[in-house]
Amino acid sequence: MRSFLACLLLLCAAPLMAANLVVDTGKGARTFTTEQLLARPDARDIEVPEDVSYHRTTRYRAVPLRALLPGVPADAHLQFVALDGFAAEVPASLALEGRGAEAWLAIEPAAGWPSLGEGKPSAGPFYLVWLHPEAAHVGPEQWPYQVASIRVLASPAARFPAMHPAASLPADAPARRGFAVFQRNCLSCHTLNGQGDAKLGPDLNVPHSPTEYLRDDMFRTLVRNPQDLRHWPQAKMPGFDRKVLSDADLDDLVAYLKHMATRKAH
């Protein structure tokens, strides 16, 4: 019994297993281990105020994301795939140029990071964090955690043609602006017309668009704070406050979803 307890204590005290990050820029995938990333000369300690996942100021050992993406053009698109299949979409221009925002890949050390909540794992092994995110209006969906791979892909607009508004719409139509809002804030969790890489949320057009069964004010409530509309303990959808999603952006998103309700894939 004592031997068993001793072994159990050792297991509980053992450091986390090292993880692998796969980065595929389209020129062959590269695999980085936790140890390799932590040992890089460009790794440094950073402090992230108002961390999106931990909701407090946090400190990380991290490397500049752009250093892991040599040769990737600013007009490319990045997809961050998490261990649970969550796929976050980030324009490469945001990560590479930033417009004042800085993208960093935080690396979970052997000692581990805190849990994200009751019964939840940590944000590791790898977590995309931002310094000065407000400078480029970086949204909460662009802070993917538990990252397993980073892939360079064509933009969602090119990959998923069934999401496009009608070509006949004017260039300044609200539904066109709403398509951009959808890509930035909704695509990580939701498909539309059966297209997209998301696995967490329902399709937002088939069989029914939420604009077909929710009043406009109820849909806005759902987006601003889902728990004000439907409350359940395991809910995962975050709320989007006005700092992330302006009222004008929300109006455009409603216009896009109403428009796409007339363009269902069959």
Q: What gap in Å lies between CA 67 and CA 73, rounded to an integer?
A: 13
Per-residue pLDDT reduced to its tens digit, 199-228? 788 999 999 999 999 999 999 999 998 887
For residue 201, the model assigns a pLDDT of 86
Written as six digits, the tokens of 226 are 């889902």
For residue 235, the model assigns a pLDDT of 64
**Across 238-259, average pLDDT:** 91
Q: Which residue has the higher pLDDT, 178 or 187?
A: 178
- As a whole number of Å, the end-to-end CA separation of the chain is 63
- Residue keyed to tokens 């933009």: 155
For residue 206, the model assigns a pLDDT of 95
**Across 167-196, average pLDDT:** 92
Per-residue pLDDT reduced to its tens digit, 68-87? 999 999 888 999 999 987 88
Assign 65 to helix, strand or coil.
helix
Q: Looking at the predicted structure, is the pLDDT value of residue 121 above 60?
A: yes
For residue 233, the model assigns a pLDDT of 64
Give yes or no for a contact between 34 and 125, defined as CB atoms under 8 angstroms apart.
yes
**Percent of the chain at pLDDT above 90?**
62
Per-residue pLDDT reduced to its tens digit, 129-138? 999 998 888 8
For residue 234, the model assigns a pLDDT of 63
- Residue keyed to tokens 């069959």: 266
Assign 227 to helix, strand or coil.
helix
- DSSP string of 144-193? --SEEEEEEE--HHHH-GGGPPPTTS-TT-HHHHHHHHHHHHTTTT--BT
Element (H, E) at 31: strand 29-33
